[in-house]
Amino acid sequence: MQDIHQEKILILDFGSQYTQLIARRVRELQVYSEIVSHGLSLEEIRARSPRGLILSGGPASVYDSQAPRCDPALLSSGLPILGICYGMQLMAHLLDGQVTPASKREFGPACLWVDARTDLFAGLEENGEGLPVWMSHGDSISRLPRGFRAIAHTDNSALAAIGDETGRRFGVQFHPEVAHTPSGKEILRNFLYRICGCTPNWSMRSFLEFSLEAIRESIKDRGVICGVSGGVDSMVTAALIERALPGRVDCIFVDNGLLRAGEAEEVSRAFRDALVGCHLVQVDATARFLKALRGVIDPEEKRKIIGREFIAVFEEEAGKLRQRAEFLAQGTLYPDVIESLSFKGPSATIKSHHNVGGLPSRMGFQLLEPLRELFKDEVRELGQELGLPEKLLNRHPFPGPGLAVRILGEVEPDSLETLRQADAILIKELEEAGLYDQTWQAFAVLLPVQTVGVMGDERTYEKVIALRAVTSSDGMTADWARLPYDFLARVSNRIINEVKGVNRVVYDISSKPPSTIEWE
Ligand code: XMP
């Protein structure tokens, strides 16, 4: 079997907000990439056998004593290197160049003129107008390191890109990884194929074949338990293991009573239709969760209770299957893996998310995480390779604590029913208007306030539904979706007419930050 990790690019993280984006761009060009700490030594890097290195951007100034560095030996190791922004400045600084605060800081779009004879810019057409690129820097290189020459400039930067062709070391001041640099992909392609000599062999088809083999190897004739939620990650995990070892995986689906309308049925249907043969244990734990949540209004308290109950139910069910299974599978993704090695350290907990973290070791399971190398988009692609339905793969994210964090205040059966109906109307209308895939997440929230209304000749005093729809790429930042007025009017009308107990609908126009996507 061909090892799809053989041609690997390592990205040294200096704390840029774009580091993950660089890794994704490289993979889109079908070369496997990994993010590593900037502090690895040359030996540690060599042990991973990369074809080339990319030094990420970062917020620091290279001349500050606290600024993150890489092992200087990397720069003369003969490995091909591309430094981006801070990465380029660091390369200049650690060699014998000089970096100083720029006389004019550059943030935003700029026009780049390149020397197309150099490999990095081969094939790029400027058409006499320059190439649009995205800049974001306050420092610049004031003296070139030995062996380097200028290979591109902008109006503000004489050294917008530098290169040492014989040493295969390059640096760019702009960000080729962002969408605002339209030719960025070409530049990265040149680096990967022409300069590092990589061939495109990372695809979801090759990953699938590789993983099937790897799963068979590690599981052999033993059994696997997989927790499923109806979300993309857990369904793809289950489907992948089932494909590798038909009949060997038991899936546990805990219905916590906090799901959206028809959701529990959808999960069992997905199993019947798309995961044929996969054994599903569906547990209706509604009563248990609602009892535990009675009288609770604090959001973090709700999360803790739901997390605790989930683990207890899951543990009970997994215990029944213990005889058959030695492995517990989880849909951990690459961003979770790198978060734990993050340059910035673990970020402050704004909302505590639960998972079954401590379970495998406590119950003596071995952990199986077949998606831990993948980004979300890649998981969707893998799901397609596995033949899972598009609708399931393109579902909006849904939080573990479910509707409990969308009912502000106490969670009661009546409120759940009201919210389910309102939410179902919003989602159905989004789908019918072709807007579902254009929003990253959309849902209804039930507010704990009553307002006055008039229906017919009657005065009403009923609840308020807030609609939330956002655009985002990863949920870390988000903007409110500019849904058409006519659409909002239709949804509002339908909710007020069809959902008993609601007489007002409002639309949330806050972005994240400073708001969050969920209301609790
Ligand atoms: P916030 O509200 O923090 O949400 O802007 C960002 C993304 O995370 C989801 N979310 C959660 N997911 N457990 C989860 O599994 C949680 O407790 C939780 N809280 C928020 C939210 O739906 C959005 O996609």
The confidence score (pLDDT) of residue 355 equals 55
354 in the same domain as 258: yes
173 in the same domain as 79: yes
Q: Which of 453, 466, 452, 464 is nearest to 515 (CA)?
A: 466
- Answer whether residue 515 is part of any domain: no
Reduced DSSP (H G I as helix, E B as strand, rest coil) percent helix, strand, coil of the chain, to 5 = 35, 25, 40
38 in the same domain as 178: yes
105 in the same domain as 15: yes
pLDDT less than 50: residues of the chain: 344-349, 354
191 in the same domain as 220: no
270 in the same domain as 152: no
Helix count (H) and strand count (E) of the chain? 15, 18
- 317 has catalytic annotation: no
Q: Which of 171, 195, 219 is at the close of a domain?
A: 195
514 contacts 462 by C-beta, under 8 angstroms: no
- Answer whether residue 109 is part of any domain: yes
211 in the same domain as 190: no
Beta strands 98-114; 479-480: pairing state: unpaired
123 in the same domain as 265: no
Query: Which atom of ligand 1 is closest in space to residue 397's alpha carbon?
Result: 24
- 175 has catalytic annotation: yes
Which of 175, 196, 263, 309 does the annotation list as catalytic? 175
* CA 516 to ligand 1 centroid distance, Å: 9
The confidence score (pLDDT) of residue 345 equals 39
- Answer whether residue 402 is part of any domain: no
182 in the same domain as 58: yes
342 in the same domain as 227: yes
* CA 443 to ligand 1 centroid distance, Å: 12
- Answer whether residue 345 is part of any domain: yes
The ligand 1 site (C-beta within 6 Å) comprises 303, 350-351, 353, 397, 399-401, 441, 475, 512, 516-518
225 in the same domain as 145: no
**Residue 228: which H helix or E strand, with range?**
strand 224-228
The confidence score (pLDDT) of residue 347 equals 38
- Answer whether residue 406 is part of any domain: no
What CATH number corresponds to the domain at position 482?
Answer: 3.30.300.10
Global model pTM greater than 0.85: yes
- Residue 10 Cα distances to 85, 194, 197, 335, 471, angstroms: 17, 17, 14, 15, 30
**β-bridge partners, 251:** 226, 280
Instruction: Identify residue 419 by its one-letter amino acid code.
Output: L
184 contacts 164 by C-beta, under 8 angstroms: no
Quote the CA–CA distance of 175 and 241 in Å, as a whole number. Answer: 38
Instruction: Identify residue 63 by its one-letter amino acid code.
Output: Y
Which of 7, 34, 177, 242 does the annotation list as catalytic? 177
* CA 375 to ligand 1 centroid distance, Å: 18
- Answer whether residue 188 is part of any domain: yes
The confidence score (pLDDT) of residue 259 equals 97
- 70 has catalytic annotation: no
Domain extent for 458: 412-507
Q: Which of 177, 195, 213 is at the close of a domain?
A: 195
Looking at 394-462, list the stretches that DSSP marks H as alpha helix, in order from N- to C-terminal side. Answer: 413-432
- Answer whether residue 513 is part of any domain: no
What CATH number corresponds to the domain at position 155?
Answer: 3.40.50.880
What CATH number corresponds to the domain at position 377?
Answer: 3.40.50.620
Number of domains in the chain: 3
Q: Which of 195, 227, 258 is at the close of a domain?
A: 195
85 in the same domain as 190: yes
Quote the CA–CA distance of 324 and 312 in Å, as a whole number. Answer: 20
- Answer whether residue 125 is part of any domain: yes
The confidence score (pLDDT) of residue 476 equals 84
- Residue 38 Cα distances to 57, 80, 91, 175, angstroms: 11, 16, 13, 18
